[in-house]
Structure 1
């Protein structure tokens, strides 16, 4: 492999591959190329990504990651780094916006994800998980990813969207599932808008328009609801957000739609995948399975939380974050030009032996040992002012679902599940089949 460097600007070396090939591999199979490039070039290297092509600089050293997360967000734009998601999430999405618009949206959304609010959501999450687990039988083979997706989809629809009417849920489930099923190729519509007119893009975005119509109707109806003050779902909370602060303009219907879709896409299959990997790893480690079932029976969320976090470390669901420079910057001692995108690699950080001893092993106890997990090494939710707003919700949901499953069943896995990049998340390619044994 030949390399290219730019000593003047300080852009690190990277592969001399055609940009179209690098782009396709980055979107389709990062787990195949990123570790190999790290082995070849070290803790920082560059790649070229279309359109442009644009320069991405990948970082994995925790000191560099910390520097990027702590940098001035007005000069390190996370929204611009996520712009490829705009055709689906919308231009007002919390993941797409930067600067003042992002600050305003985050301020309005934060109360809906505060600690006390998590306690209000948990009973409904547990009820949804229990209803699913009640349909399982002793001796069944569980197609884990499918069943976890079913649970987390209903959590989004009921806890976030506030839709509890079964007739409406029956209409929304298949349409939302199709919307969530956004392959890497579908994201190319951001670069080439003409794709909207041809299959399969045309069908995908037609379905998205139908979901939008339902969401806008739900928002309008909810605004007029007489019991809005007494409703605890996220949508109702967002409709009330800002009403006591004259200095903050409430979210418009379009902004509300974009935030709801963002919560759907960022919080549905990501949590389902994390749960699938957790149950898969427990199914491969009988000793940990016994401890987890005891923890579930005793209401010990700390161990269940550690099991979930360790699965998210070993199997990063989202494997990188991105910040696009708005001016020339010195990053990790390198002079990088405006519009370079700096990219802390979650994948490389989580597999780094200097960060995690025996990094290839599933060892939840590392999250129970004080000081074993250092700052800026476990970063599944990103970091800094752009850390995922739904992080606490995801962990609460994960522990609640694990508890419901493990109070009723033990699971075993026959073999290790390979990874596949599906949509924008890493999932078990075989959907992590598990054998159920009633407790």
Structure 2
């Protein structure tokens, strides 16, 4: 099926433009730069000036993006038929990296089929099976942290979450193969916005640095295809994600490769960054640190998870998620035409005092009270039929890493001031790497 044409400079007429929500009239390039690099401040300013629903224009083709900031409006989007609100079409820029079978790029029946095949590997029972593996990897890594010397915990989290992907998701345990994959995967997950432009302009893929990136990708693919071939028919009671997928579904090698790369790119930087923000907040708040240490000592999973959830609320790693309208539809009180890009602004919802009293405070207990946040107000993993399939894995991973670190160390912040966020690709990371100092308990 042909993709839905973007509503933009080539398809938007003046009469339709007058019916869109209000928004800035600045040049498209200026709005794109602000969105790409400063969305954490750009979106709140646009909301303050234009209201809960506003329109921005982004490259390519000066595409029309309608931004939503109210949970009831966002629920309209998440609850709409997936055939009307396509998410995969909005991610096509990632196809050269993730592959055409990636769950993030599929829509309609293809998405339903692929998601159904992935589900057994991310069920509650499966997550409990991974938890012990994650905890052992976390304990081994935590034991190597420098004591008494400030270090960037974001770098540590990136290395640890990559190791978890290698061993728990890919199921690679051979030392030589691990040593070969680590530097290659580090290059893959460090994909820059410049490399992503290759998805919009395929001709770029023939020259550097795009050609260099694709060469690294082919080296990774060769190893992954070999790992898949070795695993077929010889699972041997293995408990990793790849083995569970092979046991539960009917996959081609290409489909498996694309899902593994998707899990790598979607689950690495996001989880590492969420944990970096978590440790940043705990290191600056002795009372919350003590709360977390008590939870770690008591194996209180709900309390450890609440700490991770609150960090994800206060510091949304992904600030917005998008959909593309495949037909004209009523959304947030507006009649929006086919091809409109709709953005659900996670960051605006998470810092709205109407939904989260004292929204700038770090208060994990808000997720443990008798009056927890209302449904649809905590949405770091999106929602509806496109909710991130790895959400449960990410929260389990965060809980186990937090348990291992808080059982071992006290945390201090060399600089007690809040660390600013910086845009890195689609994520918002701590600008200085979340510097902390640890001492043994």
Please give the per-residue CA displacement for 1:170-203, whole angstroms capped at 9, x wherever unaligned. Answer: 1111110110011222211111112112222222
CA distance in 2, matches of 1:280, 1:108: 37
Q: Displacement of 1:365 after TM fit?
A: 0.9
Q: Which residue of 1 aligns with 2:247?
A: 240
Query: In structure 2, which of residues 57, 64, 68 is the aligned counterpart of residue 55 of structure 1?
Result: 64
Residue 110 (structure 2) aligns with: 101
Q: Give how far 1:229 is off.
A: 5.0
Picking from 216, 220, 227, the partner of 1:207 is 216
Partner of 1:277: 277
How far off is 1:138 after superposition?
3.0
Q: 1:20 aligns with which of 29, 33, 36?
A: 29
Aligned partners of 1:208 and 1:336: how far apart in 2?
39
Between the aligned partners of 2:208 and 2:15, the Cα distance in structure 1 is: 41
RMSD, aligned CA = 1.6
- Counterpart pick for 2:195 among 186, 195, 203: 186
Moved more, 7-16 or 338-347: 7-16
Tell me how far apart the structure 2 counterparts of residues 205 and 299 of structure 1 sit (CA, whole Å). Answer: 44
Deviations 1:235-272 (A, max 9, x none): 11111223xxxxxxx22111111100110011111111
CA distance in 2, matches of 1:176, 1:163: 13
User: Does the alignment pair 1:230 with 2:229?
Assistant: no
CA distance in 2: counterparts of 1:404 and 1:12, whole angstroms: 48
Task: Determine the structure 1 residue equivalent to 2:19.
Answer: 10
Cα distance between partner residues in 2 of 1:157 and 1:81 = 28
Q: C-alpha separation between the residues in 2 aligned to 1:21 and 1:74?
A: 32
In 2, Cα distance between the equivalents of 1:87 and 1:360?
39
1:372: how far off? 2.9
Aligned match of 1:171? 180
Are the aligned partners of 1:58 and 1:343 in contact in 2 as well (CA < 8 Å)? yes
Q: C-alpha distance in 2, partners of 1:5/1:433?
A: 51
Alignment of 1:108-119 (within 5 A): 108-119=117-128
CA distance, structure 1, for counterparts of residue 371 and residue 425 of structure 2: 35
> What is the alpha-carbon distance in structure 1 between the residues aligned to residue 229 and residue 29 of structure 2?
43
For structure 1, which segment, 380-389 or 230-239, has the greater mean C-alpha deviation from structure 2 after superposition? 230-239
Aligned mates of 1:427, 1:6 — CA distance in 2: 40
CA distance in 2, matches of 1:422, 1:49: 18
1-structure distance, mates of 2:356, 2:14: 31
**What is the TM-score of this pair, normalised by structure 1?**
0.94
Query: Could you tell me whether the CA contact under 8 Å between 1:27 and 1:184 is conserved in 2?
Result: no
Aligned to 1:65: 74
The number of residue pairs the alignment matches comes to 427
Residue of structure 2 in register with 1:334 after alignment: 334
Give 3-state SS (helix, strand or coil) of 2:320's partner.
Answer: coil
Structure 1, 351-360 or 30-39: larger mean CA deviation: 30-39
Contact residue 9 and residue 337 of structure 1 kept, 8 A:
no
Q: How much does 1:317 deviate?
A: 0.5
Q: For residues 382-435 of structure 1, what are the alpha-carbon distances to aligned partners after superposition, in whole Å with 9 as ceiling and x for unaligned?
A: 000111101011000000000000000011112321101112211101011101
Trace 1:214-225 onto structure 2 (pairs within 5 A). 214-225=223-234
| Aligned-pair CA distance for 1:6 | 5.9
Measured in 2, the distance between the counterparts of 1:15 and 1:128 equals 48
Partners of 1:132 and 1:255 in 2: how far apart? 32
Taking structure 1 as reference, are residues 100 and 364 closer, same or farther at Cα in structure 2, changes over 3 Å only?
A: same
Conserved 8 A contact 1:145-1:276: yes
CA–CA distance in structure 1, aligned partners of residues 102 and 221 of structure 2: 14
CA distance in structure 1 between the aligned counterparts of 2:72 and 2:14, rounded to whole angstroms: 23
